[in-house]
Structure 1
Amino acid sequence: MHDVVIVGAGPVGLFLACELGLAGCSVLVLEREPGPTSPFKAKPLGLRGLSAASVEAFYRRGMLHQLLTASGVDDDAGAHTDVDEPSPPRAVGHFAGMVLDPAQVDVAALPYRLPSPALEGVLTSLEAVETLLSERAAKLGVDVRRGVTVSGIAQGAESVVAQAGEREYPARWLVGCDGGRSVVRGLAGFDFVGTEPRFTGYALHATLADPGKLNRGFNLTRTGMYLQLSEGHISMMDFDGGAYDRSQPPTREHLQTVLRHVSGTDATLSDVHLASSFTDRARQTTTYRQGRVLLAGDAAHIHSPLGGQGLNTGIGDAVNLGWKLAATVHGNAPDGLLDTYTRERHPIGAKVLDWSRAQVAIMNPDPHAQAIQAVVRDLLGTRDGTTYVFQRLSGASFRYDLGGEHPLIGRSAPDLRLEDGSRLGDLMQDGRGVALDFSAGRDLRASATRWEGQIRYAAGPATNDLGLGALLVRPDGIVAWAGDRTPDRAAFEQTAGHWFGPAGC
């Protein structure tokens, strides 16, 4: 019997499998597709944007270089990490198709932001991400089996069984990472609530007879929206209430009709190589756990792809869940630790759904939405407006409510650098929490070593300690406790016990 069975070998399932494998868990991944490759995972239709928060997750596990290489991005990570203050981002992204100017981002307004190799988002592909994570999973001893379709789930007091045909796969825990049409979600009886779609979206790779008739980039029109990243790589939105999605195959004739409608041109598609449809249906499960079954990624929340938040939210789920589930498997989790997964990640998912809904609402081609769009466009042209969107898209604004008075608690830890050259990101590669002690007296050494198997202790002056005396960082990179110049050992130990259980476990 495995410790954990994960259903779904997409980026979320594989990232979670790697986190569990790193922690020494026995992990089996079941994937219904027979092979890892697909034209919808490769560029151009498999193109995806990883936010700075997601790139940071790869960095903290020692995979940044491999990610950049697999994505075809110049590996200049660290080129600007010796400066005192971070520079403005090279790109911000868009809100409802309105592209923002990165020079407008007020870097000084970003909370506790320090130079880091992982401050920028990365344009990559599903194929690149899955290949990287599959290779890492194999090295960590994760068993990935493809061509396996789960058809049943049976839970007991101490285990759960995934049924696939005549085969049974028993485990102590099961996690559904099997996408927006999750089989696990339905079999386990999760409530999935939300709003119905307003548009049918299309992604296609086509040959244009007259490519000059379509503009590059985002194009908001009075009848919809289209995006052309490269010639013939087109996404478009038709506000038909989602009527066409998956109702019939997207033929060349239909796609050309929609393209002409939303673009206001007579552009001609001479050939369509690949095409798929999607909607802005927005739903979320009311909890991310039912007994011994948990959900992550699109299995727990779906929404429109506007802003590229789906993949990033799913990776955030995997990072949050991985160490908590591993601690539960190993029997050293404090009471209620696994329940904090839903408590922390569900509000994040809900915010992402509303972020998506807000964009759809102002893109709707009716006079009221168009009027609101004009107001929003003006606001996004301001420094405050651009900074606000950047914080949301990059993940810089996300903060878990963990209690505590210090404003850094609950946020992703800044990439503090010790004078010996080591960085926080380097110290997190083994998946343990980190206690950073900047105090001259090494006040926390004795306390931290009580959790030696779960917390790495690092001491010494930092090049920029932000006025802190010490930090306790969870394995997912979230600050659990922050101390002043004279750290309070009792407060540190209380927090460590809260997240890592009794000392010595």
Structure 2
Amino acid sequence: MHDLPIYDVVIAGAGPVGLFLACELRLAHLSVLVLEQAEDPHAPLKQLPFGMRGLSSPTLDAFHRRGLLDDVAAPQRAAVPPTHWMQQPLRAGGAGGHFAGIQFFHDRIDASTWLYRLPSPAGTHMASNMAHIESVLAARANVLGAEIRRGIGVDDVEQSDAGVSVRARDQTFRGRWLVGCDGGRSTVRKAGGFEFVGTEPEFTGYSVEVELAQPHAVVPGRQYTPTGMFTYQPPGTIAMVDFDGGAFHRTQPITLEHVQRVLRHVSGTAVTVTALKQATTWTDRAFQATTYRNGRVLLAGDAAHIHSPLGGQGLNLGLGDAMNLGWKLAATLRGDAPDGLLDSYGAERHPVGAQILDWSRAQVALMRPSHSTRALAAIIRDLIETRDGATYFAERVWGLSLRYEMGGSGCEHPLVGRSAPDFVLADGTRLGERLRNGKGLLLDFDARAPLQALAGRWHGRFAYVASDAHNKLGLAAVLVRPDGIVAWAGVDTADQAALKQAALQWFGAA
């Protein structure tokens, strides 16, 4: 066993989160092994319309900063007419998203409140197919040299002070670190001894592709009824919710007869299902690991937090985990990480996960089949039609309100802890393009020698870029972490104490 190769990081799970994390780690030239239980990455359900996911601003920023945005956005930029009911232009302003199916529209949003967000190719939101996202990330991981083995799921985990041994089928793999990105039923989470706490489900959700004898008997779009909720996209794509306490989820085979019975119950129609092509169930069970790290084992994505897929926040949450964790784990492996850097992953991402779980629970509260719920939904509908209401929901759904508590950075500028603006530099390049190597940077708008000298003390752990910009937002300089989060922002660079403190906090000793 001691003759086995030792990988820097073993990742369990080759979904979007595991693949994106593999890309981040390979940018730092670490050896990465990805183990995936499924032999075929092309699951049929990922190809269906309910395989569409809304990508939020932090996700799009991350893809832009790593040069992935064009590939991810290619299908949406091909001018294909909308195929998902939530993408249909119901009025001139265009739908920007929804909360429990209650839509907010662009013509109600006040973008002037986002003082530190500059126009960017990333935009604020975009719909994309889950299977396409995964294929783009898999292709990039392969190009970067990550080793991906499919059909080999993790069975058990043992760790020591020196590393982790992973048993998968009849093989054993060794890594200095292990990251569980293996989904809501994560083997890594269970074997790693993580506590998983939360709230039990109220419903069983169904995503099905069927043929109907009377396709026009069911009303298209999202419909709330006295017995549940359903979304119908003709000719046969249906998502529906039955408030049974999650009793049917993964307890029995999903038969045509059962799907027909639930559809009739939820829709209140006598519709007949003549063929069942694809079907899966899900619930609103909302659980989160109490910590994202146990020794040399870490969790990311659904392995760390699960909730209802309603609203499409889960993918964004997991990709945000990967973007936050990758550079911190790389610095830890290199040996130049400051004290506590790796623990800042959980400190920053756990509160974000908890907030998304509550966001999901709040949507479920607006879906319950009761008169009081419908009355509450009517009030939310009125609020979301106001300018302040639409702006609030856009900020939350699009991820624009994300801000990390940065602790001892010594700088109180409102940009610190937020995603860096995509400054357009004097040569026409953008800040996002300067982050594609996975390193941080100090952007100095005034090309001051003391800042260049300061950056030089960190020997390439972050780059120094001296350039004017088309809109500097009143800043003289800004220090950006590898994940694109602002670590320090200065309107006057004469006092460099706070800048030095931020550099020490995030990039280690000079």
Q: Give the TM-score normalised by structure 1.
A: 0.94
Which residue is 2:25 aligned to?
20
Which residue is 1:432 aligned to?
439
Which residue is 2:9 aligned to?
4
Please, which moves more after superposition, 143-152 or 322-331? 143-152
Asked if 2 retains the 8 angstrom alpha-carbon contact of 1:412 and 1:477, the reply is: yes
Please, which moves more after superposition, 15-24 or 147-156? 147-156
Once residues 484 and 434 of structure 1 are traced to their aligned partners in structure 2, the CA distance between those partners, rounded to angstroms, is: 17
Once residues 457 and 283 of structure 1 are traced to their aligned partners in structure 2, the CA distance between those partners, rounded to angstroms, is: 42
2:474 equivalent among 467, 470, 493: 467
**Which AA in structure 2 matches 1:233?**
T
Deviation at 1:220, TM superposition (A): 2.4
- What secondary structure is seen at the aligned counterpart in 1 of 2:357? helix
Deviation at 1:382, TM superposition (A): 1.1
What fraction of aligned residue pairs are identical, expressed as a percent?
Answer: 55
**Which AA in structure 2 matches 1:117?**
P
Which residue is 1:406 aligned to?
413
Once residues 377 and 15 of structure 2 are traced to their aligned partners in structure 1, the CA distance between those partners, rounded to angstroms, is: 35
Once residues 347 and 494 of structure 2 are traced to their aligned partners in structure 1, the CA distance between those partners, rounded to angstroms, is: 28
Q: Give the TM-score normalised by structure 2.
A: 0.93
Q: How does 1:447-466 map to 2 (within 5 A)?
A: 447-466=454-473
Once residues 415 and 443 of structure 1 are traced to their aligned partners in structure 2, the CA distance between those partners, rounded to angstroms, is: 24
Are 2:39 and 1:46 aligned?
no
Q: How does 1:312-331 map to 2 (within 5 A)?
A: 312-331=316-335
Deviation at 1:219, TM superposition (A): 2.0
Which residue is 1:157 aligned to?
161
Which residue is 2:214 aligned to?
210
Structure 1 residues not aligned, in runs of 5+: 77-87
Are 2:17 and 1:30 aligned?
no
Q: How does 1:125-144 map to 2 (within 5 A)?
A: 125-144=129-148
Asked if 1 retains the 8 angstrom alpha-carbon contact of 2:215 and 2:234, the reply is: no
Which residue is 1:345 aligned to?
349
Which residue is 1:64 aligned to?
69
- What secondary structure is seen at the aligned counterpart in 2 of 1:36? coil
Q: How does 1:153-192 map to 2 (within 5 A)?
A: 153-192=157-196
Once residues 89 and 153 of structure 1 are traced to their aligned partners in structure 2, the CA distance between those partners, rounded to angstroms, is: 52
Are 2:428 and 1:421 aligned?
yes
Structure 2 residues not aligned, in runs of 5+: 1-5, 81-91
1:108 equivalent among 97, 101, 112: 112
Asked if 2 retains the 8 angstrom alpha-carbon contact of 1:31 and 1:148, the reply is: yes
- What secondary structure is seen at the aligned counterpart in 2 of 1:310? helix
Which residue is 2:364 aligned to?
360
> Given the superposition, is the C-alpha separation of residues 215 and 487 from structure 1 closer, same or farther in structure 2, using an over 3 Å criterion?
farther
Which residue is 2:308 aligned to?
304
Which residue is 2:266 aligned to?
262
Which residue is 1:238 aligned to?
242
- What secondary structure is seen at the aligned counterpart in 2 of 1:73? helix
Asked if 1 retains the 8 angstrom alpha-carbon contact of 2:22 and 2:32, the reply is: yes
Asked if 2 retains the 8 angstrom alpha-carbon contact of 1:99 and 1:218, the reply is: no
Once residues 268 and 207 of structure 2 are traced to their aligned partners in structure 1, the CA distance between those partners, rounded to angstroms, is: 18
Once residues 357 and 55 of structure 2 are traced to their aligned partners in structure 1, the CA distance between those partners, rounded to angstroms, is: 18
> Given the superposition, is the C-alpha separation of residues 112 and 196 from structure 1 closer, same or farther in structure 2, using an over 3 Å criterion?
same
Once residues 443 and 207 of structure 1 are traced to their aligned partners in structure 2, the CA distance between those partners, rounded to angstroms, is: 69
Once residues 449 and 266 of structure 1 are traced to their aligned partners in structure 2, the CA distance between those partners, rounded to angstroms, is: 73
> Given the superposition, is the C-alpha separation of residues 224 and 440 from structure 1 closer, same or farther in structure 2, using an over 3 Å criterion?
same
Aligned residues: 491
Asked if 1 retains the 8 angstrom alpha-carbon contact of 2:204 and 2:249, the reply is: yes
Q: C-alpha deviations, 1:56-95, integer Å up to 9, x for none?
A: 11111011111112x443399xxxxxxxxxxx99542110
Which residue is 1:283 aligned to?
287
> Given the superposition, is the C-alpha separation of residues 268 and 442 from structure 1 closer, same or farther in structure 2, using an over 3 Å criterion?
farther
Which residue is 1:227 aligned to?
231
Deviation at 1:397, TM superposition (A): 0.4
Deviation at 1:491, TM superposition (A): 1.9
- What secondary structure is seen at the aligned counterpart in 1 of 2:415? coil
Deviation at 1:440, TM superposition (A): 5.1
Are 2:131 and 1:124 aligned?
no
Once residues 368 and 500 of structure 1 are traced to their aligned partners in structure 2, the CA distance between those partners, rounded to angstroms, is: 52
Asked if 2 retains the 8 angstrom alpha-carbon contact of 1:98 and 1:218, the reply is: no
Once residues 493 and 169 of structure 2 are traced to their aligned partners in structure 1, the CA distance between those partners, rounded to angstroms, is: 61
